[in-house]
Structure 1
Amino acid sequence: MSFNDNAQLDPSQVQDRRGVGRGTKIGGGIGGGVILLIAALFGINPQLLEGLAGAVQEPPAQSQGSAPACDTGADADARLDCRIVGTVNSLNAFWPDYLAQYNRDYPRPETVIFTGGTNTGCGSATSAVGPFYCPADTTAYFDPGFFQELVDRFGSSGGPLAQEYVVAHEFGHHVQNVLGTLDQAQQDPQGPASGAVRVELQADCYAGLWVHHATTQPDPKTGLPFLDPLTEKDIQDALSAASAVGDDRIQEAATGRVSPEAWTHGSSEQRQKWFYQGYTSGDINQCDTFAVATP
């Protein structure tokens, strides 16, 4: 989904930590446990991090960098870091007005771009965790390198909406945090109909909900939509990304077998289904993954 070239981006909504020296070591005990917790709830299937809690890993040194010069929608189309900025801007413009219809406030989350490793309110994290949302500091974290890994390792298409879907999914967790459903993941953390899976699928639905409205959501500075009209390829790109991070697909690639009892995020089919439901309905009431017997 391409950006309107004349959209005015606000890079101040994204903190750029690339080039801030070395991250903190992650090892056994509290550090490793926190990372596995983050993985299980917010970012990626913890099977992919097997052994992390017992080993010390230190992010590589980072060169000094500065905040990205992301000014317009044309920049968002040309550069991945600016696409993250533009997507964040669109999400932060959409959710306050939408939730206001239900008399709910939307405290704006923080967003961090990092490389290698960073400190968070949930503990120290490396890029191996993947994108994640930390409720302790209400911040979404993204290493831009993940988006290429999504293609190379998980087989997703590399289209813009595949990347934007990932950002919107993490912001979906922030909306859940605001509405009070995020903590249900901890109450029932594994299995195909678990609270954890329902939380992740709802975040997929919220991502689709944003996509439904994104091409008409105006840039507050110009009054023009942030994003150009959708194409069928855009939707297929998003569905490809949703499928690529399904628990069944990740398990089969990693171990050669599928174990639904260990699912924490949902199958490829489930993730596509709930993203598409949010996209086609444009209605948050259609994203109640807790109201169905089988999500």
Structure 2
Amino acid sequence: MRFNPKARLDRSQVQVRRGGGRGSGGRGSGMSLPIPTGGKGGGVGMVVLVVIVLVVLGLTGGLGGLLGGGGSTGSGAVTPRSDEEAVATSELTECETGEDANENPDCARLAVVNSIQSFWREALPEQTGEQYVDADTVIFTGTVDTGCGAADSSVGPFYCPTRDDMKVYLDTSFFSAMLEDQLGAKGGDFAEAYVLAHEYGHHVENLLGYLGRTRTQQGPNSDAVRVELMADCLGGMWAKYATTTEDTDGNVLILELTDEDISEALDAAAAVGDDRIQERSSGRTNPETWTHGSAAAREMWFNVGYEQGSFEACDTFEADELYPS
């Protein structure tokens, strides 16, 4: 992945919170990648599970209660923040151009966020008729307070869909300590881009009301799995058009994606498949406990988005088959 040296980066889309942060103090759960925690008997634990655990945490009314508006679909489910509600200045003062993104990993993450949001501002209204609402990414260390509750570095990247939050949270140590070391992914710049694109896929689902349709909580064909596979597909959609995304001055943000970049994304998608994680942690799989889908399914749906580039193709709630034959 090579960024355009002339592109200007928008630092307002990424916040940096060191050793803690502000939040609404609400209780709840974000949409996260599945993380093995080495529970008793080598079983798989999922930290900051998908929205499924809301009832356990004491929220009533299912996901509709979390989103507000009874889980209604479309733009009525969420409200954009006003300029006055924008929070903290980014610490990424060294990140100004695409050239900085080519040299600095933090600037590269900022450039990827800029590209993802540039894509969805155009694609969402064109393909669904709904307007896109920007969502910040929060890079944190230690712990962070969110509208979905407090989180620490062990939770992995996640998206908080509450009306007063709607942000992606990321401790960048996840990529080396968890994605590569514990989950066995080969890593790489575009593996990180895949993770960010997946979490922004959840934001798009939130804007369209799909998160409010999550009823069944576990199992290979559950609503929870459909939500996760859709987010993979939406990440693939962005990848297909990533080299067409622009900064506010009309400069292309990403000049080139290679086959190796896409390979890194697919490898990362497979590494966070439920079956792959269960096999690594316990030596066996149990599809009835899946919340994110198999490695093969996650690769397949990223490819669906990357090859077809349409939201209709990514609508896993309309799909008869979620898994490759």
Larger RCO, structures 1/2 (Cα 8 Å, 6+ apart): 2
What do the CA deviations read for 1:59-102 (whole angstroms, capped 9, x no partner)? xxxxxx97022111122222222122111111121111111213
Q: Work out the CA distance in 2 between the residues paired with 1:236 and 1:155.
A: 14
Deviation track 1:166-192 (CA, whole Å, cap 9, x = no partner) reads 00100000000011101233x111010
5+ residue gaps, structure 1: 54-64
After superposition, the C-alpha distances for 1:177-216 in whole angstroms (9 at most, x for unaligned) are 011101233x111010000000000000000000111101
The whole-number CA distance in structure 1 between the counterparts of 2:46 and 2:300 is 26
The Cα of 1:294 is off from its aligned counterpart by 2.5
Match of 1:189 in 2: 217
Higher mean Cα deviation, 109-118 or 1-10? 1-10
Q: Which of 169, 172, 178 does residue 201 from structure 2 map onto?
A: 172
Q: Which residue of 1 aligns with 2:110?
A: 85
Instruction: Indicate if the aligned counterparts of 2:14 and 2:90 stay in contact, CA closer than 8 A.
Output: no
Q: CA deviation at 1:276?
A: 0.6
Q: Residues 172, 44 of structure 1: CA spacing in aligned structure 2 closer, same or farther, 3 A cutoff?
A: same
Residue pair 2:11, 2:90 contacting (<8 A) in 1 also: no
Matches of 2:90 and 2:201, distance apart in 1: 28
Structure 1 ranges of 4+ moved more than 6 A: none
Aligned residue in 1 for 2:155 = 129
Cα distance in 2 for residues equivalent to 1:14 and 1:203: 20
AA aligned opposite 2:179:
L
Report the TM-score when normalising by structure 1. Answer: 0.85
- 1:105 CA displacement: 0.8
Equivalent position to 2:279, from 248, 252, 259: 252
Contact persistence 2:19–2:144 (CA under 8 A): no
SS at match of 1:264: coil
Post-superposition Cα deviations, 1:249-288, rounded to whole Å, max 9, x if no partner, equal: 1111111111110100011000000001100111111101
* 2:212 counterpart letter in structure 1: D
2:125 alignment counterpart? 100
Q: Provide the C-alpha distance between the structure 2 equivalents of 1:150 and 1:48, rounded to a whole number of angstroms.
A: 15
Give the corresponding residue for 1:13. Answer: 13
- Partner Cα distance (2:221, 2:99) in 1: 42
Q: Distance in 2 between matches of 1:247 and 1:273?
A: 14
What's the C-alpha RMSD, in Å, of the aligned pairs?
2.5
